[in-house]
Structure 1
Amino acid sequence: MSIQTATLGYPRIGKNREVKKALEAFWSEKLDAESLWETLRQVEETNWQTQREAGIDRIGIGDATLYDSVLDWSIYLGLIPERFRHLSGLEQYFAMARGKEGIPALEMTKWFDTNYHYLVPEISAQLQPTDFNPVLATVKRAQQILGKRATPIILGPMTLLRLSRLDMPISEIIRPLCDRYVNLLQALKPLDIEEVQIHEPALVLGDTAKFKDDYESTYASLVQVGIPLDLVTYFDDLGESYPWVIQLPVASISLDFTRGRNLEQLKRHGFPSDKRLGVGIVDGRNIWQIRPDRLLPILDDIKPITSNLSIQPSASLQFVPYDATRETKLPEPLRNVLSFAEQKLQEVVILAQTLQGEDRRSQLQDIATGQTAFEQFSPPNTQVQQQLQSLNVDAFERSLPYAQRQPLQLQLPPFPTTTIGSFPQTSQVRKLRRQWKRGEITLADYKKAIDAEIAQCIRYQEEAGLDVLVHGEFERTDMVEFFGQQLQGFAFTQHGWVQSYGSRYVRPPIIYGDVVRQAPMTVREFKVAQSLTEKPIKGMLTGPVTMINWSYPRTDISRQEQAFQIALALRQEVADLEAAGATIIQIDEPALREGLPLKSERWQDYLSWAVDAFRLSAGIAKPQTQIHTHMCYSEFGDIIQHIQRLDADVLSIENSRSNNETLFEITNAGYAHQVGNGIYDIHSPVIPTTEHLLEQLRTGVANLPVEQIWVNPDCGLKTRHWDEVIPALKNMVEAAKMLREEIYASGK
C-alpha cells in the first residue's frame, strides 16, 4: 500500500494578522509596495516550513494572496476587464478589488457555501496577455525550502469559468482559456515539478453533467504537457458525475469525505487502479478534533478499493485559524478538543501512520480521553431542551399577515433612507475596547465613551437627513461575535482569525454547548440612541442562520437544533426591544444563501429549517413592529420563494456591484414586500456621486412600485472612514429627495 500525506492550501493571513496590517498600512501610504510583498512572502514561507516540519509529503503552494486568489488568477491569465486596462501593477490590482474613482470594482460574492468572498472574474473575447512570472517565482522559492514536496495549486479552468461573468457560452471560451493553462504547465515543466494540484470544486455542483464534454476535452489537452495532475474537489460529493470524473486522464483525484456521499460513490463505482485517491478526511472547515472511532472505519472501507492513497484535509485550511494551543484563555476541556491548522496537519500524519500499521495507540487514546472530559464539561441544558420540545406552529407566525400589518407600521416618505447598521470602527473605538478589556478603564467609563460615539453618530445621520437611524454598533467587534459573547454555549478565541475577504478578518465563535440568553444584549444602547433623536432608531440583531453559518457549530447535534436554540434567545431580545420602544427591528441574515447545499436536491431541507429559525426569532413581534432583514453578496433568484416566506417587512440587498442583477432577480420573481435597494458600494473607498446613486434608484423605480422601495448602502459601514461615509450618505439622501421630486412631478 502506498500512502502519502498532502495539503490543499493553508491560512495565508499570518499568525498575527501580518498581511492585514501590511495591507492597511500600504493603503494609508505608510508602507511601500516592496515591503507589502515581503510581508506576504514571509508569511508564505513560514507556512511552508510549518507543513514541512509536520511531515507532509505534498505541500500545496501558491495560494497566498494580497487580497483574493481568484483575483490573482484573473491577473495571471489576462482576464482584465477593459475599464482597468489603462492601469498597471498594484494600482490595477486594487482597483479591481476595491474600485477607483469612476471605475467600479469587480463584483464580490461567496466562495461556494463558505463565508469567504471572492471577486467575480469578468471574461470577454478580448483577452489580455498572460503573466505567469509570479507563479513561476513562487514555485522556485518554494522548491528552495520544500524541494520535491512543493506542489503548485492552480485554480481549474472550468471552475474559473463557472464562477465568472461571461459574455459568451463556456463552450466558446474554454478552448482559448485552456491554451493558456497549457502554456502555464509548459512553463512549469522545466522546473521539475512532480505534480500540480488543479482545484475544480465546481465539479461538485449539481449541474456538472452538462459540462462533461468541456471537462473531458480540457483535461485531455492539459495532460499532454506531461506533468502529473491532481484533480482536487471539495465541499461535497461528485454525485451522478462520479463515474466519468474518475476516468478523466489525471494522475490523482482528491475527494471530500467529510461532506456529501463520496464514500457511497466509491463503494458503488470503485476507483481506477492507475490513479491515486486523495482522501479528504480531516475536516478543513471546522475546528473540532478528529474522532478516530468515526474516521478509521471509513479508511478501512477505502483500503480494499484502492491501495494508492493520500491522506489530507477535506479542503484548504484557510477556513480555520492557525494554532489551537495559543488559546490559553479557553477552558482546558474545550481547548483539548480543538483542532486548528497546525493540529490538522498532525491529524493527517497520525491517520496516515495508523493506516500504514504504525503504532499510534497512545495519541489515539489521548484524543479519546479528551473527548470524554469535554462531554462532562458541557452537558445538555434541560430548560432549552424543554423549550424546543414545546414549540408549536404559532411560535413561527406573525399575528397578522403582511398586508394587514403594513398599514399599522411607521409611515415614512417615499424612498425612506436608512443604513444597514454599523458605522466606522475608528482607531479610537478600537482603543477604547482594548482599554476596557485590559482593565485600564472601568466599565462605566467605557459605556460613557461608547455613548459619546453613539451621540456623534446620531448627529451625523440627522445632518445627512436619513429617515431611519441606527446607533452605529460601536460596542460590537463583529456582528456574530458580539451576540455570542453574551450567550451561554459560545466560546471565543484570542487568535482564531480567518479571512472573510481582503483585509477583513473575523474570529468565528465556537458553539460548544446549548445556547441560552442570560440577559438583554442590545437594549441599553438602543435606549441611549433613541433618547437622542425624535427619528426612529432600528434595533439591530444578527439572525440565527447567520450566527450558525459564521460560527464553528457543534457536530454532535443538527444545525437546525442549534439555529432554533439561537432563535429562542433572539426572540426574547425582540420582545425586550419592543418593550423599550423599538418600532423597527432588523434581524440580519446575510448568510442565509451561503448555507445553501451545493446540490439542489438538498435545498428544501435546509431552507425549511433556516427560514423557520428566522420566523421563530421574529414571530413574537407585534404587528406594529416593522421587521427588517439584510442579505448581501449572494444570488437570490432561485430561492426567492423562501425569502418571501421569511415574512420580513423590509428586505435590504446588495445591488451596487451586481449591475442590478440582485434587484432584477427579486422583482422578476414578484417579491411583494418592501426592498432596500443597496445602491452604495461600501467595500470601495470611492465616494459615489449623487448622479450615480440617482441612476441606481431610477433602475429600482423601473422595476418596483414606489411604495416598495427603501434606499440604503449595500452593507454595513464599519470598515469605511467617516470622511468617506458622511459625504456618501449625504449624496444618497439627496438622490432619494431628487427622485421624490421627479416622481411627484410626473404624477406617479
Structure 2
Amino acid sequence: MKKLLPTSTAGSLPKPCWLAEPEALWSPWKLQGEELLHGKQDALRLSLQQQQLAGIDIISDGEQTRQHFVTTFIEHLSGVDFANRQTVRIRNRYDASVPTVVGPVSRQKPVFVQDARFLRQHTTQPIKWALPGPMTMIDTLYDNHYQSREKLAWEFAKILNQEAKELEAAGVDIIQFDEPAFNVFLDEVNDWGIACLERAIEGLKCETAVHICYGYGIKANTDWKKTLGTEWRQYEQILPKLQKSNIDIISLECHNSRVPLELLSLIRGKKVMVGAIDVATDIIETPEQVADTLRQALQYVDADKLYPCTNCGMAPLPRHIAGAKLNALTAGVQIVRNELLR
C-alpha cells in the first residue's frame, strides 16, 4: 500500500564539518583527490542515515557531493569559463561573482550519475534527485556567447535532459528541477520557462518535480522577503500554466511564509510537495505547527497528492538544527496521518 503523506526534503542538508566549512554556501572542500571522493561518499551515507533515523520516506542525497545546487552542475559543462568571472545580480537580489559562458555549452560526461548509483546501492527507499532548472542556471552565469537568456536556457534544457535520463537509469524515482528563478521572472516563466522545463523532462518515465521557493535562509533572501508585502502572490501568476504542464509534482514554500495557501487550488490535480519546515530560522517547529500547515494545505490539495517537505534546502543551517527540524516534520506528519486514517 502506498504511504499516505510521504515525507522528503527539498534538497540540501548540512555537510559534516570535516568535509566543508559548515553553515555556508559555496564552501570549499577540506579534502582533496581520493580523500575527497571517499569523504563525499561517507557524507552521503551519513545524510542517508540522518534521513532514515528521522523517518523520511523519500530519500535525497542531501547534496553532499556538490558545493552549490547550481554551479556544481555547470562546472562539469564545456563552454563555461570559471577563471573568467563577472559580477552579476542573481535573481534581482544580490551580486555574485559568476563564471562566463564563452562558447557553445555541452555535457561531456555524466555529472551526478555515479553518486546516484552509490545512493541507490545503499537504500531500497524511493530516491529523489535535484538538478538546477534551466532558468535558474542562466541566472547564475554571465553569458558572453548566446546573448539571449532564452537561447541559453534551451541549450541547458537539452543538457539537463541527458543527465536526467541517466539518473533515471541509475534508479532515481523522482527527478526534481530547482527553479527559484520562477518566483522572480514571472513573464519569462510563462513565455518560455515552463516550456524549457518540459524539454528537460522529455522522454522520462520516472516522476518529475519542480521546486519553486523563496530561497535559502540567507540574508539576501530574507531581506528580499521583507519587501514583498503582507501577501506573497508570485505563485498566482505561474501556477495556472504549471497545472497544465507535464510536470508531475510541484514543490512550494508554505510554512511561515506569506503565501496565501488558497493559491494551492490553482494546481488542483497535481501532486504538491508542501513546505512545512521554515529553513530561514534556527527555531525548531513543533510537530503541531507542522500539522497545522498540512491541515491548511489539505483544504486545497487531496490527501493522496500531498507530499510534506521542507521549504527549501537546509545547507546553511547547523546540523543539529536541521536534524531536529526533520524530526519535527515526520512527527507533525504522523499527527495528520492519524487524523486522516480515523
TM-score, normalised via structure 2 length: 0.86
Cα RMSD for the two superposed structures: 2.4
In the alignment, residue 446 of structure 1 is paired with which amino acid?
L
Q: Aligned in 2, Cα 1:434/1:418: closer, same or farther, shift over 3 Å?
A: closer
Distance in 1 of aligned mates of 2:51 and 2:63: 14
Q: Aligned in 2, Cα 1:722/1:550: closer, same or farther, shift over 3 Å?
A: same
Are 2:250 and 1:651 equivalent residues in the alignment? yes
**SS in structure 1 at match of 2:251:** strand
Distance in 1 of aligned mates of 2:305 and 2:69: 27
Are 2:326 and 1:729 equivalent residues in the alignment? yes
In the alignment, residue 68 of structure 2 is paired with which amino acid?
D
1:398-452 per-residue CA deviation (whole Å, 9 max, x = no partner) reads xxxxxxxxxxxxx74111100011111344222695445xxxx32x221111000
What count of residue pairs does the alignment treat as equivalent? Answer: 317
Instruction: Output aligned runs, 1:311-460, within 5 Å.
Output: 412-430=2-20, 433-436=28-31, 441-442=32-33, 444-460=34-50
Distance in 2 of aligned mates of 1:458 and 1:660: 31
Distance in 1 of aligned mates of 2:282 and 2:35: 33
**SS in structure 2 at match of 1:528:** helix
Match of 1:580 among 165, 170, 180: 170
Match of 2:262 among 644, 664, 670: 664
Distance in 2 of aligned mates of 1:506 and 1:686: 28
The structural deviation recorded for 1:475 is 2.0
Instruction: Output aligned runs, 1:10-25, within 5 Å.
Output: none
The structural deviation recorded for 1:544 is 0.8
The structural deviation recorded for 1:579 is 1.4
Report the equivalent of 1:521: 111
Match of 1:538 among 118, 124, 128: 128
Report the equivalent of 2:277: 680
1:180-208 per-residue CA deviation (whole Å, 9 max, x = no partner) reads xxxxxxxxxxxxxxxxxxxxxxxxxxxxx
**SS in structure 1 at match of 2:98:** coil
In the alignment, residue 642 of structure 1 is paired with which amino acid?
K
Report the equivalent of 2:220: none
**SS in structure 2 at match of 1:456:** helix
Is the 8 Å Cα contact of residues 268 and 301 (structure 2) preserved in structure 1? no
Q: Aligned in 2, Cα 1:497/1:533: closer, same or farther, shift over 3 Å?
A: farther
**SS in structure 2 at match of 1:702:** coil
**SS in structure 1 at match of 2:56:** coil
**SS in structure 1 at match of 2:102:** strand
Report the equivalent of 2:339: 742
In the alignment, residue 561 of structure 1 is paired with which amino acid?
K
Match of 1:639 among 226, 238, 249: 238
**SS in structure 1 at match of 2:273:** strand
Match of 1:616 among 188, 199, 210: 199
The structural deviation recorded for 1:522 is 0.7
Match of 2:299 among 695, 698, 702: 702
Distance in 2 of aligned mates of 1:435 and 1:711: 34
**SS in structure 2 at match of 1:539:** strand
- Higher RCO, 1 vs 2 (CA within 8 Å, ≥6 residues apart): 2
In the alignment, residue 725 of structure 1 is paired with which amino acid?
A
Instruction: Output aligned runs, 1:549-560, within 5 Å.
Output: 549-554=139-144, 556-560=146-150
Q: Aligned in 2, Cα 1:606/1:744: closer, same or farther, shift over 3 Å?
A: closer
1:314-373 per-residue CA deviation (whole Å, 9 max, x = no partner) reads xxxxxxxxxxxxxxxxxxxxxxxxxxxxxxxxxxxxxxxxxxxxxxxxxxxxxxxxxxxx
Instruction: Output aligned runs, 1:1-16, within 5 Å.
Output: none
**If each structure's helix is expressed as a fraction of its own residues, which one has the higher value?**
1
**SS in structure 2 at match of 1:575:** helix
In the alignment, residue 288 of structure 2 is paired with which amino acid?
E
Report the equivalent of 2:209: 628
**SS in structure 2 at match of 1:418:** coil
Is the 8 Å Cα contact of residues 420 and 630 (structure 1) preserved in structure 2? yes
Q: Aligned in 2, Cα 1:415/1:620: closer, same or farther, shift over 3 Å?
A: same
1:443-486 per-residue CA deviation (whole Å, 9 max, x = no partner) reads x2211110000001101100000100111112212111111101
**SS in structure 1 at match of 2:185:** coil
Q: Aligned in 2, Cα 1:726/1:434: closer, same or farther, shift over 3 Å?
A: closer
**SS in structure 1 at match of 2:122:** coil
1:504-540 per-residue CA deviation (whole Å, 9 max, x = no partner) reads 9854332222110110011111111121111112122
Distance in 2 of aligned mates of 1:706 and 1:654: 18
In the alignment, residue 519 of structure 1 is paired with which amino acid?
K
Instruction: Output aligned runs, 1:470-619, within 5 Å.
Output: 470-493=60-83, 507-554=97-144, 556-596=146-186, 603=187, 607-619=190-202
Distance in 2 of aligned mates of 1:422 and 1:594: 22
- Unpaired stretches in structure 2, ≥5 consecutive residues: 22-26, 215-231
Is the 8 Å Cα contact of residues 211 and 251 (structure 2) preserved in structure 1? yes
Distance in 2 of aligned mates of 1:670 and 1:434: 40
Distance in 1 of aligned mates of 2:273 and 2:189: 25
**SS in structure 2 at match of 1:428:** coil
The structural deviation recorded for 1:583 is 1.8
Is the 8 Å Cα contact of residues 478 and 506 (structure 1) preserved in structure 2? no
Distance in 2 of aligned mates of 1:727 and 1:499: 34
Distance in 1 of aligned mates of 2:317 and 2:243: 31
Distance in 1 of aligned mates of 2:257 and 2:154: 32
In the alignment, residue 201 of structure 2 is paired with which amino acid?
A
1:110-167 per-residue CA deviation (whole Å, 9 max, x = no partner) reads xxxxxxxxxxxxxxxxxxxxxxxxxxxxxxxxxxxxxxxxxxxxxxxxxxxxxxxxxx
TM-score, normalised via structure 1 length: 0.40
Distance in 2 of aligned mates of 1:511 and 1:491: 6
